[in-house]
Amino acid sequence: MFSLSSVSKRYATTIALDRLDLEIASARTTALIGPSGAGKSTVLRMLIGLEWPDSGEVRFDAELLQRERLLEQRRRIGYVIQEGGLFPHMTAAENVGLLARTLGWSRQAIAARAHELAELCQLPIDAMARYPAELSGGQRQRVGLIRALMLDPPVLLLDEPLGALDPIVRFELQAQMRELFAKLDKTVVLVTHDVAEAAFLADTLVLLRHGSLLQQGSARELIDSPNDPFVHQFMTAQRSLADLA
């Protein structure tokens, strides 16, 4: 669905991406993982045209990502950030319906679609009338997801979607999201710093370091046959309660 070929990007003195080649398969869930500064967020932002490569090219559905066609391309992609990225001056319903309204959808069509998605994302329907400040962190996240799914885009991009949630809500949402991804059959790309979450949600992990691809494969592959000592180190670096025993 996405392909990056020889993409480089630098910010002042730091190199964010260094001639990166990457293929992201469609209809699968891919998690970008890696230490801080590895370039995983930069990759995600490039997929939706918030960043542009200094050199190399980014293709979406075999087409070059172009500034002139960006609006149309972006509407085929759903985008969710931490906390949902909701506009604070609009109710959840207004947030969700904004783009559809701009595109001329009828009020009924918007309400029906929002209703359907609220059910799918397990958001209580009365929450749609509230402002972001009146919603819990988990609810905000769900509204963000509903907004992203409104036009039924083939692609969903998620930047640290569960980053700001407390562990219990996060645990719950992880399970629901996995179920949702399975139901929706979309190309999902997400960035997370939590290896366990990545392994839980994604079919394919992409481990980046210093702006380069270290290894791409299933969680099992990365653990069983790491092609670099760092891959092994990174995949096993997280502490679990089992360590205490």
Chain residues in the site for other proteins (CB under 8 A): 48-50, 71-72, 74-75, 77-79, 81, 85, 87-91, 98-99, 102, 131-134, 147-148
Cα 225 from Cα 218, distance rounded (Å): 10
Strand order across the 77-81 sheet:
77-81, 155-159, 187-191, 29-33, 204-209, 212-217
Say how far residue 119 (Cα) sits from the centre of its chain: 21
Q: Quick one: 73 or 216, whose CB is closer to other proteins? A: 73
Number of residues that make up the chain:
245
Q: Quick one: 188 or 219, whose CB is closer to other proteins? A: 188
DSSP 53: -
Q: Quick one: 164 or 184, whose CB is closer to other proteins? A: 164
242: left (phi over 0), alpha (psi -120 to 50) or beta: alpha
Minimum separation from the CB atom of position 50 to other proteins (A): 6
Q: Quick one: 134 or 228, whose CB is closer to other proteins? A: 134
**CA-wise closest residue to 173 among 185, 163, 159:** 163
Q: Is 203 exposed, middle or buried (0-12, 13-18, 19+ CB in 10 A)?
A: middle
Minimum separation from the CB atom of position 184 to other proteins (A): 17
Question: Could you give the residue ranges of the DSSP H alpha helices within the chain?
Answer: 40-47, 70-74, 92-102, 107-120, 137-149, 167-184, 195-201, 219-224, 229-235
Minimum separation from the CB atom of position 222 to other proteins (A): 29
Q: Quick one: 131 or 200, whose CB is closer to other proteins? A: 131
Distant-in-sequence, close-in-space partners of 174: CB < 8 Å, separation ≥ 6 = 162, 197, 200, 201
Q: Quick one: 4 or 219, whose CB is closer to other proteins? A: 4
